[in-house]
Each structure stands twice: as C-alpha cells, then as structure tokens.
Structure 1
Amino acid sequence: MRFPTVSSMTNLQNLCHKINELSFVYRWKEVLTHYKEIRKVGYQLIDHTIYSHVLKACLACSSRLGQSVHASLSKQGFDSFISVGNSLTDFYAKSGALCSAFSVFDSMKKRDSVSWNTILHGHLDQGFLEEGVDLFIQARLFGFESNISTLVLVIQAYQTLQAFDDGQKFHGYLIRSGLWSLTSVQNSLLGMYAANRMDYAETLFDEMYEKDVISWSVMIRGYVHVDDNVFALESFKQMISEFGVEPDGQTMVSVLKGCTQLGELKTGKLIHGYVVSRGLRCDLFVGNTIIDLYCKCGDIDSAITAFWEMPYRNIVSWNSLLSGLVRNEKHAESLNFFASMEKSGLDADEVTLVNLLLVCKVLGDLHQCKLIHSRIIRRGFYSNELAVNSLVDTYAKCNQIDLSWRLFGQINTPDIVTWSTMISAFTHCGLPDEAISLYRQMRLSQERLNPVTLLNLLEACALSAEIGRSKCAHGIAIRMGLASHVAVGTSVLDMYSKCGAIEASRRAFDQISTKNVVSWSAIIAAYGLNGLPHDAVALLPEMEAHGVKPNSVTILAVLSACCHGGLIDEGLTLSKDIVKKHGAELKLEHYSCLVDLLARAGKLEDAFQLIKSIPAAMKPGASAWGALLSACRTYENRKLTEGALPQIFELEPSSSAGYLLASNTFAAGGSWTDASGIRCLMKERGVKVVAGYSMVHVGKNVHTFTAGDKCHLLSNDSYMFGPVVEQLHSCMTIDPVARIQVP
C-alpha cells in the first residue's frame, strides 16, 4: 500500500466520490469496480466510511470479496470505528455467517444502538430466536434504544416460541417504555395474542386508537384460526361498512377460508365478486384460496372457471384444482387436467403426484401407478414420506401387495404412518395374518402406536374373525384409553360382530361416550349380520330417541337386516318412512337391497319392476341383477333369468359369480344344454372360478375349507370335526340362533 501523492489525490477523491454516488443508487457492481481500481493502483484509503459502501456492494455481489475487504480495513485499524464494526456485523449476519457476525460484534470495544439492533436482527432473522431474545435482554442492561423493526421481531419470536408469559411481560415493558402505542408494535402484539388467546386479542384491539388493515386482518385471521368463522365474517363486514378500511390480499384470504370452513358457498361467491371488483384477483394467494373454496364446497365448475380466469398461476394453483377434481370424484377430468398442466410446461411436484396416485387407487390403474412411481424416482421424491406412503397404499388398492411389500422393504426407517399404511394394505388384500404379524414387528421396533394404527389393527382382526385376537386388540384400545372414543369404539363393535360375538359388540357400543350416526348404523348392521333382524329394527327408534338422525348408511343397514331376516314388509315400510321423515336420499345400493328383499320373498315381478324404476342417473348394478337371478333359480323363473343374464354379463364380464349362478339356474330347471353353454362361454372368455370357503375355529387357529377340499391337513380328521358336525346338527334342529363354542 502507498499513500496517494498530491498529483494523484484528485483521482482518489474522484473514485471515492463515485463510490458514494453509486451506492445511493444501488449500482453495486460499479462500486466494486472502482474499489478494485483503488486496490490495483495501491492507494491507501483515508476515509473509513467508504468501507460501509463497499461491504454493502460485497453483500449484493460477492460475499467472498467481503472477507478480503475485512482483512484490508483491519490492517489499517479501521475496525475500531463503530460504524465500520456495524457494517461488518451487518455484512456477516446477512451473508448467513452469524458466528463471524457475533465475533465482530463481540470484539467491538464500543457499541451503539445500531450495533445491538444489527446483531439482534441477525439472530432473529436467521431463526436463532432464543439466543436473539437473550441478547435483547442483555442489550437492555446496556440501555440501548431498539428500533421498531427489532421490537416487532422480538414479539414475533415470543409468538413462534409459544412463550406466552414472556410475551406478556414484554408487553408490560413496551407500555412502561412508551413504545407500545406504535401501530406496527400493537399489530405484532395483536398477532401474538390472536395465536394464543383471542380474548386477550379482543381486549387489545378494543384499546387500540388507530386500527389499520393489518389490525383487522390479524383479528379476522385469529377468528378463523379458532373456528369462529361467523364472527370472522361479521368483523369483515364491520371493517368495510362501518370503518371504511380497504381490505388487502391477506384479509381476503382469511375471509375466504372462513367461508370454506363454514361451507358457505353463496357467501363465498359474494366475496369472490368483491375480490374482482377491488382488483384483488391478481393476488396469487387470493386466487388459490378461491379455487380451494369452490372445490371444498363441491362447486367444481366454478373452481374451473376461477382457475382459467386467473391472470397468473403457480404450482399451488394447479394442485388446488387437481385436488378438488380428485376430491369431487372427477377422475377422468383429473387426468385430462394433469395433461394440460404438462402442456403448460409446469413440472409436477410431490403434491401433484400424490393426487394422481389417489386417482389410480380409485380406478385400480396399475399401469398409471407405475408411471407415477417412475416419476417419483426420476424427480428424487423418494425421501418424501407422503409420496412413498401413497405408493404403498395405491399398489395395495391395485391388488399388487407384493409391490407394496417390496417398496416397504426399501424404506430404511419407516415411521408410524408407513407402518400403518402397510398394515392397512395387507388387510385390504385379504391377508389379516400378515397384517397382525407386521403390527407385532412394529411394536418390537419400539414405534409408538397411534389411533390410526389401532384402527388398522382392529380392521385386520375383524377380517380374521378370530375372537382371541380381537379381544387382545380390544385390550390394547382400552390401555390406550381410546375404547370409549367413537371411531375406535365403532371399530371394536364391528370387529366383534364379524367374529359372531354380538353381545361383545353391544357392550362395546354401550361404552362409547358420544355415539354418532356411524356408531348407531354399525350396531344395527351388527345385529343384522348376526341373524337378529328384529333387534336391528328395534334400534332405529332408540337411535331417533337419542336425537341421532338416520342417514343413507343407516337405511342400508336396516334394509340389509330385514333382507337377511326375511322381514319384507318391515323393510319396505321402514325405507319409505325414513325417506319421508328424514329426507334421506335413496342411492343405488339401497335399490339393490330392496330388489334383493323382494326377490327373496318370491316377488320377482315386483323386483324386476323396481329395477326398471331406478332413476336413469343410477344404472342398476350387478348386485341388483344378481339378486334377481338368484331368486329366479330358487323360484324357477326362466323368463326373468334370460332377461337378467345379458345385464350381468355386461356389467361383470370377468366375474365367475354371474356365470355360475346362471348355469345353476338352468340346471335346476332341467335345461342342461343351456347350463353347459354357460360353462363353455366361461371357458371361451377365460373366466376363472373363485371358490367360496368356510372358516372354522379349532383351538387357537382358524382353518378355511372349500367344498370338496381333500388337501387340507384336517380334512380327514373325524376325531377333530366329528363333535363339531354333531353340535352343528343339534343347533340346527333345536335352537337356530344358538352360538357354538368350538373347543
């Protein structure tokens, strides 16, 4: 380094002057160019204030050069100046090198309020909230004057740390110091209270002399957060009509969320109109929230219109509408919409692919699922737990349990959601033993059980229909303190019902603390399943006496009980009464059950006419035609048999049930040629026969048998099954509803 000569002093002054001018207009690259020119010539800078501008330029363009500048000014002893120390602290803090920033701050012999505010901002902005709050307390002992932005950051730190008591104490400090009357500070305090105690927020809001749009937005957002959406909308109305405060995008997002949570589609449309009239639909957050509102309120057409009217869209916009299409069961439209998304040049993210997997799961589209799987691999989304768990679930729903299991095995450390998903996958594919075994493996891994996993375990035990396992699962629910919860209690009663233990089902039902329509419908279905139709029907008035309104699931449970119990008149009457009294809407499954009810009673013509009277929007399914065909076999009605056959073959061309039923119907009527023709048709179409089976509990084991099975180890064990057959015989002749305890 050399000091400039008299002849070159003018040149150095000009360079320094240019650096000053350029820094005021943020032309940082040119600032660094002139600084490098000074360094190249070897001039010794005399004015230390130049370094503040150079460090700002380094922050904008080259952090590495900033370290060189630090070394240069230290050699000259300029780091002893407070302003230079503050600039260095700010440079390192904003560069993300907080340790270096604190090192500079700590080495400063003298500090002013700017020094403290700079290091506080560095900690609080970088997320070191506890350290930042401690520094603020330390700074107060030195009597520093904090600026407004620091106060706001400290309040936000207390809010994020959920240190409500400390936040209240800070509020007291602000009042004593006379700083709390600042609107920005009050709004920050308001946000802290709204996130914890809305009653405190209301008190502060009422005390505020000046309320701006931020104040109102914080309160509206707070009401929406605590699910007081009605008051949120009332506050919005008061804000614009009484106080004339113009809302911003954040206000409208909160108001729209309130409409969504209330399901207020009509009000939401009015708010949408207000957004358009105020020119706020250019706000991406507002536009995305409008799409979410329409999707969750079931108005998918308006959601699509709102989407295409948006002047700007991002990945959230596309995912919001895609999710809405999936939620509203618009599966074909979902795939078409994804194709449009790809044409727009936007890459799918994890949320997009998970939504597409939901479509594959419903459609059972294995090919599409594999394509999405490959995308997840290529995009590096294998670390995303939601994506991988969705893949495991989707493969299972496509009946590819081997692929689900292989994928599960590739996960190094499965979490509780992954374990639960795999347990559910085994249950869905009819493998309860594997599901229960995996649950035991999960417990050995010390993974903490949650309610979802418990529900999956209960479902697996229900499928296995083994009373010992079911009692163990019930015990787990009791130890977790969840047996009285409605979801778990309903699953427990359903599990016992599948095991034939109706008394245990009733006890589980009685233990549910707050019964809802699902639990009532489940116990009605349980009585019907276990051959007690009169008890099932008797529960209906009891349910209504408790103030629970029957829904479509309840109607189905009652009809099914009447159908299997032969209560034809009761079933027909009850279905009409429930629809008339409660306004419940009959769906396709209800019509199918009514057809079955009439067909079992021999009223084949009435059943056929009922099928023809099903509304056009509900095409009769295979279950309705199958019920009619089954009755045709019993009552030997060839004419209706021939009418039902084409319908079943069209609806379920690959299912063996319809072919076998038709063949047996013709055989029962002596039409052996037609019966043989149906069998030949099965072979031509490659339809494989799926045999039914029976489950028998022997000791602690469950055995399945099919008709004519000679391969089972116990098929010839007369010592084991002789007493069982005799007991069944005696029960059939003495007490048709007796329960059998197999030793």
Structure 2
Amino acid sequence: MRVRWNSNWCSRLRELLFHGKSQDVLLYYRELNKTRVELMDHSVFPILFKACLNLSATHGHGNSIHASLVKQGFLAFTSVGNSMMDFYAKSGDLGSALVVFNCMDNKDSVSWNVIIHGHLLLLASPRGLCLFTQAWAAGFEPNISTFVLVIQACRNLAAFEAGRTIHASTIRAGYSSITSIHNSLLSFYAQFEMHLAHNLFDEMTERDVISWSVMIATYAQSEDESVLALEFFQRMIDFGEPPDGQSVVSVLKACTKLKAIRLGESIHGFVISRGMGYDLFVHNSLIDLYSKCNDIDSSLRVFGGIPEKNVVSWNSLLSGLVQNQMHPEALTLFDSMHKAGIESDEVTLVNLLQLCKFFLDPYQCKLIHSRILRQGFELNELVTNSLIDAYASCNLITYAWSQFNNMITRDAVTWSTMIAGFTHCGMPDEAIAVFREMSHTSERPNAVTMLNLLEACSLSADVKRSRWAHGIAIRGGLESNVVVGTAILDMYSKCGSIGSSRKVFDRIPYKNVVTWSAIIAAYGMIGLPNEALALFHEMKVCGLRPNQVTALSLLSACSHGGLVEEGVSLFEELIWDHEVELVIEHYSCLVDLLARAGKVDSAMNLIGKLGVGVKPGASAWGALLSACRNYENYEFGAIALPQVVELEASSSAGYLLASNMYASGCSWVDATKMRMLAKEGGVKVIAGYSLVYVNGKACRFLAGENHHRLSDELQFAIQQLHSSMKMDINFCGVASCNLVIGTSLFYSLSAN
C-alpha cells in the first residue's frame, strides 16, 4: 500500500539542505522510498540534485534519482529538467546534460543558460558558442553572466568577428552600461586590437578596478607600450580608484621592462603606505624588478621581509642572483631553499643549470639531470633545452646530443640550442648538419637560430657556406634585422671577405653601435687600419657614441697596422672626451701597440703608471715579452716572463716566447730551461695547422706533417703553393692566406 506525499516532508528536505546536511537529505529520501511514499510534488527533485552536487561521489546518486523521476513521469516539468541538466553539467558529464536538454519539450531561458554555461565553464567553447547561436535564433534572451561567458569564449577561440557580433547584441539587449560586460569586452579587444579596447575604455561611463587593471596589464605585456601602463596607473590614482594587487603587479612588470627603478621604488613606497605588504604577488614582483635593474641589495631586503615565502619568491631571488653573476651567493641561496623544505620546480632547475654553465662543472650538471628525472621534468621543454645548453657548455656534447635525440617534440629553441652547442664545442660541420635537419621539419628558423648558424659558418671560415647561410637569411626576411645583419658581416670578415662584409653593412637600414663596431673590427682584422679609423669618424658624424668594443677594435687595428701615433692620439681622445669607460683590455691593447712598434720603454712605463688595483692582462705582458724577443731587450723580458707564466700557466705561448728570446741571444741554457719548465708543468705545445676544404669537408694539416690521406694531386698543389710563398711569419702571430685551388678553398693558418 502506497502512502501519499506529505508537503511537510519536502520542507524537511529543504531544511536539511539549508543546513548543509546533503548526506542526510539523500538518506531521508531513501527512507521515504522504503515506506512506498507516492510522490506528488516535483519540487523535491531540484533539492535532491543539489544535495548530490554537494557530495563528492554524486554520479551514482544522480543517476538513480534520474531513473526514479522518469518512471514517475516528472520529466515533463521544465524545472526538473533544468535541475537535472545543472547536475550533469556541473559534474562534468556534458553528454548526459545535452541528452536531457534535447529531450525537453518546454525549454525556457534557464534551460538555455544552464546548457550554455555548462559548456563554456568546462572550456567546451566551440560547442557552447554554437548552442548560444541556436538559442539566439530561438528567441532566447541571455542574462548578464551568459554574455560574460560567451565573450570569454570568443576571446579563448580568437573569434574576433563573433566577439564583435556579441558586442552588438549586448547593446541591443540594453546592457551597454553594465560594467562586468564592458570589462569582458575590454579583455576581448585587448587581445586583438588594443586601440579598440582603448576606445571602449574611454566610452565607459563607469569603471571599476578591473577595468583599469585590464588596461594596465595589457600595456605592461607590450615591449613597446609599457610606458602607457604607467600612464594608466597614474590616471587610475588621479581618478580616485584604489589599485588592487593585480594592477600593482602589472605596473611593476612595466617598470621592470623599462628598467625604471626610480619609479619602481615610488610604487614600492605606495605599496607600503597603502598597507599592501600582505600581497605575496606584489613582493615577488618587487624582487624581480630590483633584480633585473641590478639592485640585488633591495631584492634581498624585500625577500627578507616576506613572512611566508613560496617557491616563486625563492626562484625570483635565485634568478636575480644568477642574472647579476653572483653565482656563489646563488648556490648558498639554493642550499637555504633546500633546508627550508621548498621543493624545486622547473624554474629552480633552469637556474641551477645556468650555474653549471658558469662553473663548467660536468659532475653537478649530471646531478641536476638526475634530479630532473626524479621530479618528472624530463618532458618539460624549458628544462630540457637548458640541460642541452648546460651539457654543451661543459663540453659534454655527446650527452647534449643524446638529450636532443630523446626529445619527442622540438621547438625553435631546442634546435637553436643544439646548433649553438656544436658550435661552442668547435664542431661547425655538425652544427650545420643539425640546421639542415631542422629545415626538413615544420619548425621555421628565427633570428636566434640564424645567429647560431652564422656563428657556425664563421667558425668553419668557409665562404661558400657563408654565402649559403646568407641566402637563407635573405629568404627568411632576416637580413634587414640589425642583429642578424651584423652577424652576417662579421661572418664574412672572419672568412677574409671584407668586400662582402661592406656590402652587407651598407644594406642594413638602421645601424647601431654594434654594427659599426663590427665593420670597424673587420677592417682592422684584415689589415686596413686607415679605413677602420675613417669608419670611426663616419660613425661619429652619424651621431653614435663608441662603446668599449668600438674602442678596443680601433686600438687593435692601429696596433696590427703599425699606426702608433694614431693609436696613442685615439687613446688620449677617449680619455679626455670621457666617451668610453676604459678597462684593462684597452690599456693592454695600447701596450701591445707600443711594444710592436719597438717602443718597449714606453710600453713598460705605461704598465708602471696604471692605477692601484689595475693590473695588466696576459695579452699586455705577452705583447711586451714578444717585443723584448724581437728587439733583444732581455732586461724587460726578464720582468715580463714571470707575469706571463703566472697569468697563463697552462698556455705554451709564454714559455715558447721566452725560449725563443733566450735563443736569439745565444743563451741556450736558459732557452732549454724554458722548454723543460713547460714540459715539467704538463703544458702542451699546440702546433699550427692549416685547413683545406675538399668536397665540402674540412681537412686539417699540422705544422711539420708530411703525409695526409688527401690525393697526391692536392698534396702536390700544396707543395707548389708553399714553395712559391715568401712570407715573413711572426712566431707569436698568425699569418693567413686565402687561395682557391680548383673547387677547394685553402686557408693557411700558421702559428708557433
């Protein structure tokens, strides 16, 4: 016998649900079913579905209630169908929600809202937009939250035209003054056309903190328009809108990009005055700002003031220490991070790999690799790219190559890193082979890839390859890029093709100081110092100030070209005009200039006049020792020798120079002693070598080598070349000769 439904039971269920006793709701309903109560009120089902949603294991209960209401014929009630759809959608079962929706005969606005919201909230944006279009055609009137979700869907799908149509629909629906809809439209337009977002912002009669934050955040992301983020932040304050943590984080990001540390300090003061010190995101942004503006002390103070630090806090300071080349301090910080129980993430591991690169520590690199495997980051592209880079920097190129081959997906950064790794390890052929393999994939080379390829071609010193790489840059539209163009002219100069370097230089539309420095260095390296000086004066006419590299290139050109007066005059000009902050390398180059010209006394006096704490480098003492050998000045040679040996203990150059100096003065005992010291110290004497390209492959000849696997004809041609060459080669310098033999390009590099 069935008992008829009592309205008091429904009230009891509502009361239990109101007090959060969802489990009791379902138990009470189950007990009523056992007493064979005949349900007469369909309003009980929305209560039951809400109770199911509040429980963790909901799907089984929901399916059971769904079956019960179907058997009792309550599916025809729209409110019941809407509750059922809401249950399935919020449980993540969009398929069942859609089945219920399609079975409903009487759909209302709630029905459409529930099914559209369900799809959009679960990121099923394409289907959600399609349902919204169907609803609109059926006369559905969306509410504010539906419009907000649909606009977000258009942004996620990059559906610009659909978004503009929705914008027009909001105006027709009378929602043109609703701030939440405008904020969604601001975010939408900011992704596509920032000027449209700006126009909409100016048209808004009411703005809240979200409106301002959207504009500030969007402008802060742009390298070229970060200053506008600062302007909007100032306007926000002037309008009396108190900024929140998000807007402060965005404006600090803009300050970081602009390196505007003074403004960042002002915002820091504003944060303190407004009592926003509780916001961890703001603190982390301040650490990042000070670190990237090279104020690591301020970063440390901010870090020390954070009561509850997270992994981002530690990583921000760790990155700052690495960027500011405070590598021992970075290791200490990581040790503290480990002791604090903070688990390292991918950013931490990347910074640790950067430390391995600096210390050139293969063992630590392998340890970090094992940590990467333990933490499951072996598929993280950022980590793996950094690992390849670290292995290559530590000269573990086989490990780097193994990691590269094990990667399932490779992006442009991966390919560029591997090319750079082979180049760093002196393997240009392998680097170029990797680039050729990349060209057969869908990944297109970017400017960084191109720079690494050009560096590999520079190392190989093959004009044919260099022209091939130049052609790739042209086809990729990268030749006009000032950085790539500068690398191309530098590549040609290292191949001895100064004419090609000058042509590339003339084609670069916007030249910077690096471009001018490169072409000046090219002319100086090829032995045309007067042309290098003329370019320097032309550069100054163009309104560009020289940097340290420019000055070093000019002094080097004067030194190798024998322009003593011009070099000394240039050095004095740089000092008096304060155009360049001179460093020890500039003084070393001037010492080299004087020593090469035989002015050993002047070179020695210059070394003696250097300021306290400024010590000449190995190149300066080496140049002086070479001059002492050439001009038989044994007194100064005896002073220079221990300095060279101390500064370059593992190099054979100092020992050989000293041995030759003593030998030229017939001091055979001392000459032999120098040779014995080098041998006892385990110093390897590196012989000079020559390169011959045969069928695109480099073959190396060591000095004194009489046999090689090359053909007899090529060996005969080389012998003929050597018999016809009459060159006075300085033993501490480098003599080069470029000659085309048939289809092969011969480079003679002789050093002793």
TM-based fold match above 0.5: yes
Q: Are residues 1:729 and 2:726 paired? A: yes
Q: Are residues 1:410 and 2:402 paired? A: no
Question: CA RMSD for the aligned pairs?
Answer: 2.9
The 5 Å alignment of 1:112-191 reads 112-191=108-187
Residue number in structure 2 paired with 1:63: 58
1:254 equivalent among 250, 253, 259:
250
Measured against aligned partners, the alpha-carbon deviations of 1:147-206 in whole angstroms (never above 9, x if no partner) come to 222111122222333333332232222222211211211222222233333333333223
Q: Distance in 2 between matches of 1:179 and 1:231?
A: 29
Segment drifting more, 133-142 vs 269-278: 133-142
Q: Are residues 1:464 and 2:460 paired? A: yes
The 5 Å alignment of 1:71-470 reads 71-226=67-222, 227-241=224-238, 243-445=239-441, 447-470=443-466
Residue number in structure 2 paired with 1:541: 537
SS at match of 2:378: helix
Cα pair 2:416 2:449 within 8 Å, conserved: yes
Shift of residue 413, structure 1, vs aligned partner:
4.6
Q: Distance in 2 between matches of 1:89 and 1:715?
A: 83
Shift of residue 302, structure 1, vs aligned partner:
0.8
Shift of residue 557, structure 1, vs aligned partner:
1.5
For 2:329, give the aligned amino acid: E
Cα pair 1:291 1:303 within 8 Å, conserved: yes
Aligned length, in residue pairs: 733
Shift of residue 40, structure 1, vs aligned partner:
6.5
Cα pair 1:550 1:578 within 8 Å, conserved: no
Decide whether aligned partners of structure 1 residues 259 and 74 sit closer, same or farther in structure 2, where only a CA change above 3 A counts. same
Decide whether aligned partners of structure 1 residues 33 and 615 sit closer, same or farther in structure 2, where only a CA change above 3 A counts. farther
Cα pair 1:517 1:549 within 8 Å, conserved: yes
Instruction: Specify which structure has the higher proportion of helix.
Output: 1
SS at match of 1:360: helix
Cα pair 2:379 2:407 within 8 Å, conserved: no
Cα pair 1:709 1:715 within 8 Å, conserved: no
Q: Are residues 1:509 and 2:510 paired? A: no
Measured against aligned partners, the alpha-carbon deviations of 1:480-524 in whole angstroms (never above 9, x if no partner) come to 232232222222211111111111111111122222222111111
Q: Are residues 1:52 and 2:46 paired? A: yes
1:707 equivalent among 703, 708, 726:
703
Shift of residue 246, structure 1, vs aligned partner:
0.9
Shift of residue 725, structure 1, vs aligned partner:
2.5
The 5 Å alignment of 1:601-620 reads 601-611=597-607, 614=610, 620=616
Shift of residue 431, structure 1, vs aligned partner:
1.2
Cα pair 2:59 2:91 within 8 Å, conserved: no
Structure 2 residue runs without a partner (length 5+) = 730-734, 743-752
Decide whether aligned partners of structure 1 residues 50 and 468 sit closer, same or farther in structure 2, where only a CA change above 3 A counts. same
Q: Distance in 2 between matches of 1:678 and 1:613?
A: 30
Shift of residue 376, structure 1, vs aligned partner:
1.1
For 1:552, give the aligned amino acid: Q
Cα pair 1:568 1:601 within 8 Å, conserved: yes
SS at match of 2:192: coil
Q: Distance in 1 between matches of 2:329 and 2:12?
A: 61
Measured against aligned partners, the alpha-carbon deviations of 1:35-91 in whole angstroms (never above 9, x if no partner) come to 555567665655443333333333342133333333333333333322222222222
Q: Distance in 1 between matches of 2:241 and 2:542?
A: 48
Q: Distance in 2 between matches of 1:681 and 1:710?
A: 29
SS at match of 1:288: helix
Decide whether aligned partners of structure 1 residues 738 and 536 sit closer, same or farther in structure 2, where only a CA change above 3 A counts. farther
Q: Are residues 1:600 and 2:563 paired? A: no
Q: Distance in 2 between matches of 1:144 and 1:632?
A: 96
Segment drifting more, 377-386 vs 687-696: 687-696
Segment drifting more, 368-377 vs 64-73: 64-73
2:584 equivalent among 554, 579, 588:
588
Shift of residue 536, structure 1, vs aligned partner:
1.1
Cα pair 2:216 2:233 within 8 Å, conserved: yes
Decide whether aligned partners of structure 1 residues 26 and 680 sit closer, same or farther in structure 2, where only a CA change above 3 A counts. farther
Shift of residue 360, structure 1, vs aligned partner:
1.2
Q: Distance in 2 between matches of 1:122 and 1:643?
A: 84
Decide whether aligned partners of structure 1 residues 678 and 58 sit closer, same or farther in structure 2, where only a CA change above 3 A counts. farther
For 2:274, give the aligned amino acid: R
SS at match of 1:345: coil
Q: Are residues 1:566 and 2:562 paired? A: yes
Q: Distance in 2 between matches of 1:738 and 1:705?
A: 15
Cα pair 1:731 1:738 within 8 Å, conserved: no
Shift of residue 714, structure 1, vs aligned partner:
5.1
Decide whether aligned partners of structure 1 residues 209 and 407 sit closer, same or farther in structure 2, where only a CA change above 3 A counts. closer
For 1:719, give the aligned amino acid: F
SS at match of 2:535: helix
Decide whether aligned partners of structure 1 residues 737 and 325 sit closer, same or farther in structure 2, where only a CA change above 3 A counts. closer
Shift of residue 377, structure 1, vs aligned partner:
1.3
Q: Distance in 1 between matches of 2:636 and 2:491?
A: 38
For 1:495, give the aligned amino acid: M
SS at match of 2:700: strand
- Tell me the TM-score normalized by structure 1: 0.91
SS at match of 1:694: strand
Q: Distance in 2 between matches of 1:4 and 1:633?
A: 119
Measured against aligned partners, the alpha-carbon deviations of 1:537-574 in whole angstroms (never above 9, x if no partner) come to 11011112223322122112212211211222222322
Decide whether aligned partners of structure 1 residues 230 and 598 sit closer, same or farther in structure 2, where only a CA change above 3 A counts. same
What is the aligned-residue identity percentage?
Answer: 55
For 1:461, give the aligned amino acid: C
Structure 1 residue runs without a partner (length 5+) = none
- Tell me the TM-score normalized by structure 2: 0.90
Residue number in structure 1 paired with 2:747: none
SS at match of 2:439: helix
Cα pair 1:549 1:582 within 8 Å, conserved: no
Cα pair 1:466 1:702 within 8 Å, conserved: no
Segment drifting more, 503-512 vs 579-588: 579-588
Measured against aligned partners, the alpha-carbon deviations of 1:323-357 in whole angstroms (never above 9, x if no partner) come to 22111111111111111111111111112111211
Cα pair 2:393 2:421 within 8 Å, conserved: yes
Shift of residue 535, structure 1, vs aligned partner:
0.9
Q: Distance in 2 between matches of 1:357 and 1:284?
A: 27
Segment drifting more, 124-133 vs 633-642: 633-642
Shift of residue 126, structure 1, vs aligned partner:
1.8
SS at match of 2:691: strand
Residue number in structure 1 paired with 2:748: none
